[in-house]
Chains A and B, each alone.
Chain A
Amino acid sequence: MTAQSLAATAAQPAADTPDAEAGVMSRSGLLRRLARDRVAAVASLVMAIIILSAVFAPWISPYDPYEIDLARVMMPPDAINWLGTDNTGRDILSRLIYGTRNTLMMGLVGVLFGGFLGGVMGILAAFYRRLDGWIMRIVDILLAFPAILIGLAVAAIAGAGITAVVIALVVATIPDVARVARGAAIGVMEQEFIEAGRALGVSDFTLIWRYLTLNCISTIFVFLTLRFGQIILIGSALSFLGMGAQPPTAELGMMASQGRDFLFMAPHIATIPSLAIFVIVLTANLLGDAIRDVLDPRLQQ
């Protein structure tokens, strides 16, 4: 009881972050309904903690994540460094907090940009049937590239870095979102109010935005929350391969990759960031499932 009401209040900032979706949230009383499901309530709480610590990283990190201390190298977790130190004596807890911040940003930018571009493509394909074949052909070509390959190709062309990974995540998000958006938009296009709008002489722009997009947006939003965990996984895998953030930047996948060299001497350096990625993705997946169940049960297959 108390845990649930706590989750309901704590989840507030988590859900409020993407401003654009605020309308969707309030309209359906999402938070209240999420709080009723125990798994969803816990997931909301954990996600809130993760996001808050990422946002307030500079204030809550006990140490500077980039400060090297050669006197305390590869220390296991103790009272001074709660999660131990890495191979150059940097505080792992602080790097974890900053790393979560960078990893989340990477995934969020990827999903939002990819969702926007994919959504526009899908809706335009549904509205202008002349464009449909062309847009869907582009989508088919994009689908021929698994996300990891896109990441490798972008990193090879533009050089490894966070930008390369973000581009890969955007490109990887576009085709699936475009398909979902097109499917939803075609359903809406069959509704009578579209015809009514046309008969009234409403402009194409208004039809697309107010009649079509606003009716598809919750489906697209639900799909993006479902994808978010996978996008984080892909991004951290690319970082792990050395295609993403470069040292000394704190990023979870790269931290795990660097810790690999010291796996036998100090396993916690690689294990802790990997575990953090697992918790973030698990939370995102559980929350995505719960949001889907509440907002758009039709997507459940």
Chain B
Amino acid sequence: MGRQIVHRIMISFPALLGVLFLCFLLLQVVPADPAMIIAGPDASAATVAAIRLELGLDRPIPVQFIEYIGRVLQGDLGRSIISNKAVSEELAHTIGPTVELMIGGLLIAIPLGITLGTLAAVRRGSLVDRAIMAISVAGVSMPIFFIGLVLIQYVGFKWDLLPFTGRTGPIWAGGLPSLILPCLTLGSVLIGPIARLTRTAVLEVLGADFVRTARAKGLRETTVIVGHALRNAMIPVVTLIGLQAAYLLGGAVVTETMFSWPGVGRLAVGAIISSDFPTAQGAIMILALAFLSINLIVDVLYVYLDPRMQRG
């Protein structure tokens, strides 16, 4: 098992290098010369040349890339062009809210999705099944901002039930109300796919011999479904929820932008629109790293959950 996990970590290294190279590239193609920006508009050519030398901008690109990796490893992601704060500092403030939003979204989507999916599988072919699957297809086809717009317009504005701009603070300091609408928005796009995947997984398990045995033993149907079928169906479901990480991440970027949620996604979008390249590079890097880590954790969890995976 240990060997497999090590192997899994090894194969994520090329991807990691790819992420770093893309972020490095982002700083290279900046239309403006960083040395000129630092030197200011009135600086002489000699000053600009001196700064360029100081920044190492005269060295070949591969050398600069290696130096860039060195700086990233030390946590130095440069300074924001707009606020002049260290990018790492800006990121540190935004990671918490993004994680909060993602966990909140998952806490809504996973229980609901699994319940709906199991219900649909158990009542296969019935009206309940068809209704749940219809909701699921509709959910998969819904642009996330549509759900956000409806929630903002009705729950937030018309009925004035919950706040819909910004984050009032951490959950323990009365921040819960401002968290609800963004989490609902993000969670709602995940319910459909999770329900669909759970249904398939449970249906597969329901046909297995051990379920028939459990029924033949005279176990109650609830015990058969929850204790035997759902438990075994969880293995594929965990992996497949991991595959939704891309949805989760993309959804978080849109949700944060809509609700002025002070997370990494909103930071990235704002930085790109205002051509703040160092900040954009840092935010994109963090999002990509988060995605890589989620996939890694899910893969490791999969090996752990399914003993059959540990062989071979």
Chain A interface residues toward B at CB < 8 A: 137, 140-141, 143-149, 152-153, 155-158, 160, 229, 233-234, 236-237, 240-243, 253, 256-257, 260, 263-264, 267, 270-271, 274-275, 277-278, 281-282, 284-286, 301
**Please, could you name 11 A-B residue pairs with CB atoms under 8 Å apart, sorted by A?**
A141-B15, A144-B18, A145-B19, A145-B291, A148-B249, A149-B284, A149-B291, A229-B141, A274-B145, A275-B146, A282-B137
Does residue B6 face the partner (Cβ distance < 8 Å to A)?
A: no
Instruction: Please name all residues of chain B whose beta carbon is closer than 8 Å to the beta carbon of A241 when the two chains form the complex.
Output: 253-254, 257, 269
Say yes or no: A282 contacts B15, CB within 8 Å.
Answer: no
Say yes or no: B272 contacts A156, CB within 8 Å.
Answer: yes
Does residue B171 face the partner (Cβ distance < 8 Å to A)?
A: no
Instruction: Please name all residues of chain A whose beta carbon is closer than 8 Å to the beta carbon of B11 when the two chains form the complex.
Output: 140
Say yes or no: A148 contacts B284, CB within 8 Å.
Answer: no
Say yes or no: A271 contacts B249, CB within 8 Å.
Answer: no
Report how far A10 CA is from B206 CA in the complex, Å: 41
Does residue B25 face the partner (Cβ distance < 8 Å to A)?
A: yes
Say yes or no: B157 contacts A264, CB within 8 Å.
Answer: yes
Report how far A134 CA is from B12 CA in the complex, Å: 14
Q: How many of chain B's residues have a CB under 8 angstroms from any CB in A?
A: 49
What is the distance, in angstroms, from A189's C-beta to the closest C-beta of chain B? 23
Say yes or no: A140 contacts B15, CB within 8 Å.
Answer: yes
Report how far A235 CA is from B146 CA in the complex, Å: 14
Does residue B152 face the partner (Cβ distance < 8 Å to A)?
A: yes
What is the distance, in angstroms, from A149's C-beta to the closest C-beta of chain B? 6
Closest to B246 in A: A146
Say yes or no: B22 contacts A153, CB within 8 Å.
Answer: yes
Which of A153, A277, A278, A284: most chain B Cβ within 10 A?
A153
What is the distance, in angstroms, from A259's C-beta to the closest C-beta of chain B? 8
Closest to A286 in B: B137
Set A146, A158, A229: member contacting B245, Cβ < 8 A: A146
Say yes or no: B144 contacts A237, CB within 8 Å.
Answer: yes
Instruction: Please name all residues of chain A whose beta carbon is closer than 8 Å to the beta carbon of B250 when the two chains form the complex.
Output: 146-149, 234, 237
User: If A271-B149, A278-B142 touch, does A285 touch B137 (CB 8 Å cutoff)?
Assistant: yes
Report how far A22 CA is from B139 CA in the complex, Å: 31
User: If A140-B14, A234-B250 touch, does A277 touch B143 (CB 8 Å cutoff)?
Assistant: yes
Say yes or no: A285 contacts B141, CB within 8 Å.
Answer: yes
Say yes or no: B292 contacts A144, CB within 8 Å.
Answer: yes
Q: A148-B250, A256-B149 are in contact. List 18 more A-B contacts (CB 8 A).
A: A137-B14, A141-B14, A141-B15, A144-B295, A146-B250, A148-B249, A152-B287, A156-B272, A156-B284, A240-B143, A240-B145, A253-B145, A256-B145, A256-B146, A260-B149, A260-B258, A274-B149, A277-B143
